[in-house]
Amino acid sequence: MAGSQSGFRQCFRLVQRSGVSRWFISQNNKIFPGSVLRTPITTRCCRPYATQTGFGQPTHETRPHLLKEGELTPGIQAVEYHLRRRALADKMQDGAVAIFVGAEKTFRSGVVFHEFHQNPNVYYLSGFMEPNCVIAIERHQDDYEFHMFVEPKNERVELWEGPRTGVQGALDVFNADSASDIGGLRKRLDEIIGRASVVYMDKPKDSSDFGSFFSPQAKRGSPEASIIEMLKHYGKYKNLKALSPIMHRLRSVKSPAELQVMMTAGQISGRAFTEAYAERFTKEADLYAFLEYVFKIGGCEKSAYVPVVAGGTHSLAIHYTRNDDVLHPGDMVLVDAGGQYGGYCADISRTWPVNGKFTDAQKDLYQCVLNVQKACIELANTSNSLQSLQQEACRLFQIELKNIGFDASMSDITNILYPHYIGHHVGIDLHDCSLVPRNENLNNGNVVTIEPGIYVPVDNEKFPKHFRGMGIRIEDNVYINDNSPLITCAAASKEVDDIERVASGLLE
């Protein structure tokens, strides 16, 4: 892409003990850990073709309105990606290699493709957002080497699809120590695997397992299939070490920069909810479209997931996503939605009256759920786990429901009224880091959802009639720290008075 940017960046040269030189950006002349600084100079390096052809994703040179100098992705500097790779290498033995296969472009029919979504681990370690890539991180004593295999520049393909970053761009933009055409994967990666003391890689699911019948398999001719053949050739396939448990641990603790990105996603998404209260929508589809529009115009790349926009009794289906019915005055609407910013998800749920005014019964049940949610947020700290918060939510629901006229046993609560879990980790994936056990205490830097809900069946006479058919869920994203939990999506109003005042135009 043509442009007027010079392509120069202010850098430090960090020289690794293995002799590999890397360039990392510094806006304020800071020296970053992880490498030995042998040449403490500030210099300028040029990427001359940046302004001529562009890259396969935004860079500061081509999209300065999206990325600040030094950022590979919104809010995340190139040096942070280096430190993430370093953290992974530190968990591997000397001579080991970790291999990650990026996502492929998938097609819905013919040449019509689905929106691309990168393998979260590839994104976390490199920031690379193009399909058909492989990355490898090779541990050398107290250092690492970063290899990238990417699609090459191709003038004819780029005429149709737009610029690719290419092999040279993998070196210049993504700080790879070596980069190769993905077409040469067999030769280069074969050498790396052959000398590896141990290989870390997640195995594809066994196709004989019925549970994986609908899961992607290593297709003949795919990079993953080629890698499996190489591993088997060297007798290393059976002894692969799984990567996901390590990566989920690393990704579950958010850096200060990640927190700021998630705060931005939460703020944009939260404001969209609050704006929606005042719009008095009469169709689920219109509310869906409004939220997606406000997410994007606010700065998000897209919706983080297909939202739930459930009016009336549709709210009793936890993941109702048809979003095609009429919204009736007197009913409530349950919305579970969020935007994605810089590759990180917001995950918010709110429930509010379609006509902007809670009935007495709606207000009572809503306040019951809100009381439980706020109490659980206060307990979201390093002394508690998601499992202990779930148990506390159930205990509190038994008290709160009794106060408004329910005679509900614990079995009624866990099996009927509140059938889902209190929350999950959230980050690059919506349900992030699922391999971190729920019974482990939360750690500083975790971001989790706190989302209790009550869903009263229409036809169960055990529960008070005036609450039947109501479904209410209230969900926030909560950052865990030593002081007190921080709600990243606080811009989404949730107090009864605030919702009603926004809906009536009295509160901006």
Task: Kindly report, residue by residue over 128-144, the tens digit of the pLDDT.
Answer: 999 999 999 999 988 99
pLDDT tens per residue across span 183-217: 999 999 999 999 999 999 998 765 444 444 444 45
Q: Does 2 score more than 70 pLDDT?
A: no
At 82, the pLDDT band (50, 70, 90 cuts) reads very high
pLDDT at residue number 110: 85
Helix (H, G, I), strand (E, B) or coil at 13: strand
The CA-atom distances, in angstroms, between 194 and each of 81, 202, 506 are: 27, 18, 69
Q: Does 20 score more than 50 pLDDT?
A: no
Superfamily per CATH, domain 253-503: Creatinase/methionine aminopeptidase superfamily (3.90.230.10)
pLDDT at residue number 450: 98
pTM above 0.85, yes or no: yes
pLDDT at residue number 34: 40
> 76-77 and 112-113 as β-strands: parallel, antiparallel, unpaired?
unpaired
| Of 201, 230, 240, residue with least CA distance to 88 | 201
pLDDT at residue number 12: 40
161's CB contacts (< 8 A; 6+ apart) are none
pLDDT at residue number 222: 76
Tell me the sheet residues that pair with 459: none
> 199-200 and 97-101 as β-strands: parallel, antiparallel, unpaired?
parallel
φ, ψ of residue 250 in degrees (nearest 5)? -65, -45
**Domain residue ranges in the chain:** 8-249, 253-503
Q: Does 389 score more than 60 pLDDT?
A: yes
% of residues, the chain, pLDDT over 90: 79
pLDDT tens per residue across span 271-328: 999 999 999 999 999 999 999 999 999 999 999 999 999 999 999 999 999 999 999 9
Q: How many CB atoms lie within 10 A of CB 225?
A: 15
161 or 294: which leads in pLDDT = 294
Q: Does 361 score more than 80 pLDDT?
A: yes
Average pLDDT value for residue range 354-372:
98
Q: Does 412 score more than 60 pLDDT?
A: yes
Average pLDDT value for residue range 350-378:
98
**What is the C-alpha to C-alpha distance for residues 204 and 428, in angstroms, rounded to an integer?**
21
- Locate 41 and state its tokens: 């100079």
Tell me the sheet residues that pair with 21: 15
φ, ψ of residue 387 in degrees (nearest 5)? -65, -45
pLDDT tens per residue across span 238-270: 899 999 999 999 999 999 999 999 999 999 999
**What is the C-alpha to C-alpha distance for residues 12 and 77, in angstroms, rounded to an integer?**
13
pLDDT at residue number 148: 98
Q: Does 235 score more than 60 pLDDT?
A: yes
217 or 487: which leads in pLDDT = 487
φ, ψ of residue 108 in degrees (nearest 5)? -85, -30
Mean pLDDT computed over every residue of the chain: 88
pLDDT at residue number 33: 43
pLDDT tens per residue across span 86-112: 999 999 999 999 999 999 988 889 888
Q: How many CB atoms lie within 10 A of CB 162?
A: 11
Secondary-structure percent of the chain, ordered helix, strand, coil, rounded to 5: 35, 20, 45
pLDDT at residue number 3: 29
Average pLDDT value for residue range 432-436:
96
Give the lowest-confidence range in 14-23, 134-143, 228-237, 306-315. Answer: 14-23
Q: How many CB atoms lie within 10 A of CB 177?
A: 18
pLDDT at residue number 206: 53
Q: Could you check whether 8-249 and 253-503 share the same CATH topology?
A: no
pLDDT at residue number 113: 86
Q: How many CB atoms lie within 10 A of CB 39?
A: 10
pLDDT tens per residue across span 36-71: 332 332 222 334 444 445 799 999 999 999 999 999
At 29, the pLDDT band (50, 70, 90 cuts) reads very low
Angle subtended by helix axes 256-277 and 284-297, to nearest 10: 140
Cβ 9 vs Cβ 39: under 8 Å? no
**What is the C-alpha to C-alpha distance for residues 428 and 407, in angstroms, rounded to an integer?**
41
Average pLDDT value for residue range 430-434:
96
> 476-479 and 447-450 as β-strands: parallel, antiparallel, unpaired?
antiparallel
**For the domain 8-249, what is the CATH code?**
3.40.350.10
DSSP readout, 94-144? Answer: TT-EEEEEPPPP-EEETTEEPPP---HHHHHHH----SS-EEEEEEETTEE
> 112-113 and 178-181 as β-strands: parallel, antiparallel, unpaired?
unpaired
96 or 34: which leads in pLDDT = 96
At 221, the pLDDT band (50, 70, 90 cuts) reads low
